[in-house]
Amino acid sequence: MSKAINTVTIQENLPDIDLQDEDYCFVIGPDGKLKSVFLPLENAFIPPKNIQKILKMYGITDIDNLGGDATLH
C-alpha cells in the first residue's frame, strides 16, 4: 500500500483536485475496502486527529502498518 504522496502523479490523473504536499489521500474501493493511503512526506507519521479517526475506522492504529487488509462496512 502506498505511503508517500506523489502530488504530480495524482494531479496528472485527477487534474481537478487541488492536492498539496501536506495533503492526505484515501483510495477506497466500491466495496468499502481501503485500497491505498497517500501520506505527505513531512509529518506523515504524526497525523492530525481527524486523519487518525479515519485510520481507526479501518483498524489502523499504527501508520507503519498500512499494509493491512481493511474494509469499511
Kindly tell me if the per-residue pLDDT of 15 is higher than 60.
yes
Q: What is the pLDDT, as a whole number, of residue 21?
A: 81
Q: What is the SS3 string spanning the chain?
A: CCCECCHHHHHHHCCCCCCCCCCCEEEECCCCEEEEEEECCCCCCCCCHHHHHHHHHCCCCCHHHCCCCCECC
Kindly tell me if the per-residue pLDDT of 34 is higher than 80.
yes
| pTM of the entire predicted model | 0.63
Q: 46-71, pLDDT tens digit by residue?
A: 788 999 899 899 888 877 766 555 55
Q: With bands split at pLDDT 50, 70 and 90, how would you rate the model's confidence at 37? A: confident
Q: With bands split at pLDDT 50, 70 and 90, how would you rate the model's confidence at 5? A: low
